[in-house]
Structure 1
Amino acid sequence: MEPGIYRSSAQEDSSRRPRTGALPGGRKARAVASTVTESRPGYGQLLRTPRAWTFLLPGFAARQPFAMLTISIVLLVQHTTGSYGIAGAVSAVTGVSMAMFAPFSGKLADRFGQRAVLLPGVLVHSASVLAMTALALSDAPLWALFVAAVPAGASTPQIGPMVRARWAAKLQDSPLAGTAAAFESVTDELTFVLGPLFATALCTTIDPAAGLLTEAGLTLVGGLLFAAQKSTQPKPHAHGAEHARVEHVSALRIPGVRVLIVTFLGIGAVFGGMQVSLAAFTESIGEPGLNGVLYGTFAAGNMLSGIACGAIAWKVSPQRRLLVGYAALTLMASGLWAAHSALLLAGLGLLVGICIAPALISGYTLVDKLVPPTGRTEAFTWLTGAVALGQAAAVTVAGQLEDRFWDGAGFLVPLGGTALAFVVLIALRSRLVPKAPGRTVARGVGHRTPVTVD
C-alpha cells in the first residue's frame, strides 16, 4: 500500500477541523471564524445572480395556481350548489390528487428534466380546470365535478421545488446557497398567502368563476415561460453504469421527513380552515366582500413574518424554531372559533398569520439538513403535497361544520389540525435532529483493520 493513498477517519476528521491556532491570536481568530459562519449574503446579492430573473419571474406566476386552486373551487361550487360541504368535497378531491402525484412529479422531473414534465402538465391542468369550471356553471352532477377534479389536482405544476432545484444547480457550494433556501421559503410563504387572497378578490368582486379562469391562464402562460428557460434547468440524472452505483433513497424513508409531513398537514389545515370559515363568516353577517379584507389581514401577518424570518441569520437551531413557532401557532388558532366580531377575527387572523411563517420556513430549512441533495426535490414536493392534502381535508371538514352547526364552527379545524400535529411534533422531535456524519466512509476507502494494542 502506498503511503498517503488511504487515510484513517480520525486523520480525515482532524484535517477538516479549523486550525485557529495557525493564526495569531487564538480568540480573535475564533471570533472571526464565528462571524463568518453566522453571516450570510443578502437577498440583493442573490437576486443579482446571472440569469436568475429568467426563471424567477415566470416561476412566481406559475406557482400561484398551487395556492389559488382550492379556494377558487370552493367559492365557485358553493355559489352554484349553495353548500360548503359539497364545495369542500370537490376541492378535497383536487387536493388529494395533488398531494398524491406531487412526489411522483418530482421524481419524473429529476429523471427526464423539468421541461419534459412541465409541457404536458400545464396543458392537462389548464384544460382540466376549464372543464371543471364549465361543469360547475352548467349545474353538472356531482360525480362529473369529482372526475374533473382528479386530473386538475394531479397535473398541478410543482414549480416551487423546481425553482429550488435550479438554485441548487446554479449555486452548488456557493455561500449564496443558504440565502437562496431562505428566499425560496419566503416565496413559498408569499404564494400560500397571495394566491388565496387574489382568488378570493376575483371571485367576490368580478365573478365566481374568475378565480379558476385566472388560475388556468397563469398556469398555462407562466408554466410555458418557465419551461422555456432551458439554460437554467438542472440536467436530468444520468442512467449509465456510474449512475447505477449511486443508491437513491426515497425521502419518505427518512424519519424526519415523515415528521415534517405531519407538521405541514397541520399548516395546511390552517389555510383550508381559514379560507372556508372566513367566507362563511362574512356571508353570515351579510358582508361577503369583507372576506378579502379579513384574509388580507391574515396574509399581511404571514408575509411580514415570512420576510423577517427569511432575512435573519438565526443562531437558534431550526428544530427549536419549529417547536416554538408551532406552539405559538396552535395557541393563536385556539381562539378563532370564539371570535364573534370582524374586528376581533381580524386581530386573531393577523396573529395566526405571523405564527405560520416561522413554522414553514423552519421546516423547509430542516429538509436541507436531513435529506441528501439527490432527494431534496422529492422531499420538497412531499411537504408542498402535505400542505395541499391538509388544506383539502380542512376545507371538507370545515365546510361540513359550517353547514351542520353554527356560523364559525369551521374555525375548530385549524385548532384541531395544529393541535394534533403539535402533539406528533413534540413526541417525535428527536427525529428532526440530523445524524452526525459517520466516521466510516465507503468500503475500501478510509478503512482500517483493528489490531491488538499491547
Structure 2
Amino acid sequence: MSPRTVFSPYARLFTVPGSVSFSLAGWVGRLPAPMLGLGAVLLVEGETGSYGLAGAVSGTLALSYGVAGPQWARAMDRRGQGVVLRLAMAAFGLAGVAFVASVVAGGPRWSWFLLAAAAGATGPNIGSLVRARWSAVLDPAGRQTAFAFEAVADEVVFVLGPPLVTLLATLIAPPVGFLAGVAFGVVGGLWLAGQRATEPPPHPVDRHARVRRASVLTPTLLVVLVTYLAVGTVFGAIDVVVVGFAEAEGVPALSGLALAVFAFGSLVAGLAYGLARLPGSLASRFVGTAVAFGLAAQLLWSVGSLPVLVVCGFLAGLTIAPVLVSGTSLVESRVGPGVLTESLAWTITGLTLGVTAGSALAGAAVDAWGAEAAFAVPAAAAALAAVVALAGAPLLRRPAVPRPQAGTDRVEHRTAG
C-alpha cells in the first residue's frame, strides 16, 4: 500500500473549503502553549536562580489560562469566534510584554505573579476553536481523523516549541524566548479571527442558564477533565524537571531537545491513531489509552542520564496523543453544538490546571531532592491518571448525544449572514 493511500484520510480533510487556512492559523496560534510555560521558567530562573519560584510563576500562568479558557470559549459559542478572539489577542499581547518587562526590570515579585496570571487569562485555547470548526463540517468518522490530525499538530508544536524557546533564551536572551511565544500567539489568533467563512455559528444565550450549565458539566466531561488534570501534571512537571536535569548534566541548551523527544513520540502515535479503526467504544478506548499512558510513564523512574531520558521520553511519548485524542473524541460525541467549544475548552482546563500543579510540585522537588529524584513527580501523576480513568469508567457507560449532520450549521450560518 502506497503512502498516498495510507494518508488519504488526512488528505481528504483538506478538501473542506478553508480548512488549510484555519488549521494552519490554529497551528501558529498554538505555539505559545509550549513556549510560554518553559519560557517563564527560563526567564525567572535566569533572573533569580530558583526553580521553585520559576515553577510557581509558570504554574500561575497555566492556572489562569486553564480557568479563563472555558470563559472565552463560552463567549465564542455565544458571540462567534472572530469578535471575541480579536479582543483577547489585544489583551494577551499587552499582558505578555508587561510580564517580561516587570521581570527584567526587577519589579516586585508579586507583580510577576499578577502579570503572569494576566498573560494566561487573556490567551484563549486555540486548539478548541479549530476542533470546533472541524466538528461543524465533518461526520463522526471524519472527526476522529481531524482530531487525530490536530493532536499531531499539537505535538509538532511541542516538538518545535521547546527547542526554539530554549535556543532563543540561552543563545540570545531569556526574555526573547517568552516574547517570541507571545508574538506567535497574537499572529495566529488574529489570522484565525479573520476567517469568518469557516467560523461555527454562534448560539446566543437563552433564558435557561442553569439547564445549559448542566448540559456542559456532564459525568463524561468530569471524568475526562479529572483524568486530564493528572495528565497535565505530568506535562508541567516534565518541563521543570528536564530543564533542571539538563542543567545538572552541564548541557542546559539541550533541555528543549529532550522535551521535544516526548512530543515526537506522541506525534508518531497520533498519526497512527488517526488512521486506525480500533475496536470498542470511545469510552473503552479512552480508559485503555489512559492506562497505557500511566504504565509507560513509569519508565521515568529509570532516568539517570540524558541518553536514557531520550529513550524513555520517546517511549512514554507514544502514549500521549492516543489518550488526548480519545478523551477529546469522547467529550465531543456527547455534547450539543451550542456548548461544543466550551466543553472542549474544559478538557484543556483540566490539562492546564494539572500543568500548574506539576510545575509547582516539580520545582519544589528539584530544589529539595535534585532533578533526577524529581522524576518521581511526573511518574506518580501518570499512574494517578490511569487510576482515575479506571475508577470513572462506570460513569462513561451512556449513549452519545445525537449530533446534527455535518454541514447543517454551516449552511444556516451562511444564510444568516
TM-score strictly above 0.5: yes
Residue of structure 1 equivalent to 2:49:
82
Give the C-alpha shift of residue 437 in structure 1.
7.3
- Alignment partner of 2:118 out of 141, 151, 156: 151
Instruction: Say yes or no: does 1:181 pair with 2:147.
Output: yes
Q: Percent identity?
A: 37
Q: Distance in 2 between matches of 1:182 and 1:429?
A: 22
Instruction: Say yes or no: does 1:204 pair with 2:165.
Output: no
Matched ranges for 1:35-434 at <5 A: 42-169=9-136, 171=137, 173=139, 176-238=142-204, 248-250=212-214, 252-434=216-398
Give the C-alpha shift of residue 393 in structure 1.
1.1
Q: Distance in 2 between matches of 1:263 and 1:245?
A: 27
Instruction: Confirm or deny: 8 A CA contact 1:193 1:302 kept in the other structure.
Output: no
> Which is helix-richer, 1 or 2?
2
1:203 aligned counterpart, secondary structure: helix
**RMSD value over aligned CA atoms?**
2.4
Instruction: Confirm or deny: 8 A CA contact 1:202 1:208 kept in the other structure.
Output: yes
The aligned amino acid for 1:139 is G
Unaligned runs of 5+ in 1: 1-38, 439-454
Q: Distance in 2 between matches of 1:195 and 1:433?
A: 38
Q: Residues 314 and 205 from structure 1, CA distance in 2 versus in 1: closer, same or farther, beyond 3 angstroms?
A: farther
The aligned amino acid for 2:66 is A
2:174 aligned counterpart, secondary structure: coil
The aligned amino acid for 1:236 is P
Give the C-alpha shift of residue 310 in structure 1.
1.5
Q: Distance in 2 between matches of 1:412 and 1:289?
A: 23
Q: Distance in 1 between matches of 2:142 and 2:240?
A: 39
Q: Residues 387 and 418 from structure 1, CA distance in 2 versus in 1: closer, same or farther, beyond 3 angstroms?
A: same
Give the C-alpha shift of residue 433 in structure 1.
2.6
Q: Greater CA deviation, 151-160 or 333-342?
A: 333-342
Q: Distance in 2 between matches of 1:130 and 1:192?
A: 22
> Normalization by structure 2: what TM-score?
0.88
The aligned amino acid for 1:120 is L
Give the C-alpha shift of residue 113 in structure 1.
1.1
Instruction: Confirm or deny: 8 A CA contact 1:319 1:433 kept in the other structure.
Output: yes
Q: Residues 414 and 251 from structure 1, CA distance in 2 versus in 1: closer, same or farther, beyond 3 angstroms?
A: farther
The aligned amino acid for 2:153 is T
Q: Residues 315 and 86 from structure 1, CA distance in 2 versus in 1: closer, same or farther, beyond 3 angstroms?
A: same
The aligned amino acid for 1:114 is Q
The aligned amino acid for 2:245 is F
Give the C-alpha shift of residue 154 in structure 1.
0.6
Q: Distance in 1 between matches of 2:355 and 2:240?
A: 10
Instruction: Confirm or deny: 8 A CA contact 1:63 1:157 kept in the other structure.
Output: no
Provide Cα deviations, 1:94-128, integer angstroms capped at 9, x if missing partner: 11111111111111001111112111111111111
1:335 aligned counterpart, secondary structure: helix
Q: Distance in 1 between matches of 2:299 and 2:205?
A: 54
Give the C-alpha shift of residue 174 in structure 1.
7.9
The aligned amino acid for 1:226 is L
4+ runs of 1 displaced by more than 6 Å? 243-246
1:234 aligned counterpart, secondary structure: coil
The aligned amino acid for 1:137 is V
Give the C-alpha shift of residue 41 in structure 1.
6.8
Give the C-alpha shift of residue 360 in structure 1.
0.9
Q: Distance in 2 between matches of 1:437 and 1:150?
A: 36
Give the C-alpha shift of residue 81 in structure 1.
0.7
Q: Residues 98 and 250 from structure 1, CA distance in 2 versus in 1: closer, same or farther, beyond 3 angstroms?
A: farther
> Normalization by structure 1: what TM-score?
0.82
Provide Cα deviations, 1:187-224, integer angstroms capped at 9, x if missing partner: 33434444334323332333211221111111221111
Q: Residues 187 and 407 from structure 1, CA distance in 2 versus in 1: closer, same or farther, beyond 3 angstroms?
A: closer
Instruction: Confirm or deny: 8 A CA contact 1:92 1:393 kept in the other structure.
Output: yes
Provide Cα deviations, 1:341-395, integer angstroms capped at 9, x if missing partner: 1111111111111111111111111112222332221111011111111112101
Instruction: Confirm or deny: 8 A CA contact 2:77 2:203 kept in the other structure.
Output: yes
Q: Distance in 1 between matches of 2:333 and 2:344?
A: 13
Instruction: Confirm or deny: 8 A CA contact 2:335 2:401 kept in the other structure.
Output: no
How many equivalent residue pairs? 397
Q: Distance in 2 between matches of 1:323 and 1:360?
A: 11
The aligned amino acid for 1:218 is F
Q: Distance in 1 between matches of 2:144 and 2:81?
A: 23
Q: Distance in 1 between matches of 2:49 and 2:235?
A: 22
